Amino acid sequence: MNKQKTVLQAIFYIILTALAIVFIAPIIIVAFNSFKNKLYIMSSPFELPNSNTFEGSNYLRGIVSSGFFGKDITSMLTGFSDAWENSVNALSPIGAFGRSLFITVFSVLLILLCASMCAWYINRSDSKFCRLFYNILVFSMVVPFQMVMYTMTSTVTNLSLNNPVGIIFVYLGFGAGLSVFMYSGFIKSVPFEIEEAAMIDGCNPIQTFFKIVFPILKPITVTVAILETMWIWNDYLLPYLVLGSRFKTIPVAVQLTMQGAYGSVDWGAFMAMLVLAIIPIIIFYLFGQKYIIDGVIAGAVKG
């Protein structure tokens, strides 16, 4: 019996290892192709770079042609008369990397703050409006983005949100559904007696949330932050529709800049930019991956 169990476990691990190799292989292929001449990338994409195929200028050429890190960061420190318009224009010279970092960080922070407070209020206020609002948020998770992207683009333009600052609020709208849903599942496991004790001690609702409830939400907060960060950092369609080519994020910059005349593609620089784009999100995921399972399990267990 034990021998049969050992054999089944061995087969199981072999299958998992094979699946892991299948998923990791494209990233590895992109990584070593980023050091090869573009001619050899097309003719021998699965061969490792050697003295004949090595091309060391792919990263430099890709960074320069895509504006990955920007051209003049110091210009954003000059004075402006119109705060909103010029603060938006100040984000122009920081490059695709800085722009993506700005949008991702502040979008995730806004989503975490608003979604956690919304989920807490919905679960602690047993009203028909809250239940209806929660169902609307859950329903928004299953609505395909393609159904709303044209009306969304028109609305965003009319509200002057088609800039790196305005798109943060657009991401809040699209990311609220999943975030509130995950927070709600976790908050149900938080004993209400803890909040009652805080109110007896003199805490108002805001103090109760930030001093008592929000620290308890750390596991699910990290989980939501990781999922939302991976989505926003890698998102191509929404920034392309809202920001266009004026404020290019990393996915948009890589796609638009790497294409030359008559459909030609600088594959070496293209691969190099893909590697630079995925390194930050891989590092972030590796440091926080354990919290994903912990947050999901903790939210599923009634406390």
DSSP states of 104-162: HHHHHHHHHHHHHHHHHHHHH---HHHHHHHHHHHHHTTS-HHHHHHHHHHHHHHTT--
The CATH number of 91-257+280-300, from 3.30.420.40, 1.10.3720.10, 1.10.260.40, 1.10.357.10, is 1.10.3720.10
- Do 18 and 37 form a contact (C-beta atoms < 8 A)? no
Residue 123 CB neighbour total at 10 angstroms: 19
Greater confidence (161 vs 287) lies with: 161
Extents of the domains making up the chain? 91-257+280-300
Alpha carbon 93 to chain centroid, angstroms: 22
Greater confidence (265 vs 261) lies with: 265
- Do 219 and 170 form a contact (C-beta atoms < 8 A)? no
Angle at 259 between CA 253 and CA 262, to 5 degrees: 155
Which pTM does this prediction carry?
0.79
Place of tokens 């930019």: 273
Predicted confidence (pLDDT) per residue in 19-36, tens digit: 988 888 888 888 888 888
pLDDT over 70 at 203, yes or no? yes
Which pLDDT belongs to residue 105?
A: 93
CA distance 192 to 6: 46
Using pLDDT thresholds of 50, 70 and 90, give the confidence band for residue 262.
Answer: low
Average per-residue pLDDT in the chain?
80
Residue 59 CB neighbour total at 10 angstroms: 19
Using pLDDT thresholds of 50, 70 and 90, give the confidence band for residue 261.
Answer: low
pLDDT over 90 at 185, yes or no? no
Using pLDDT thresholds of 50, 70 and 90, give the confidence band for residue 301.
Answer: very low
pLDDT over 80 at 232, yes or no? yes
Q: Which residue, among 161, 2, 22, has the nearest Cα to 88 in the 3D structure? A: 161
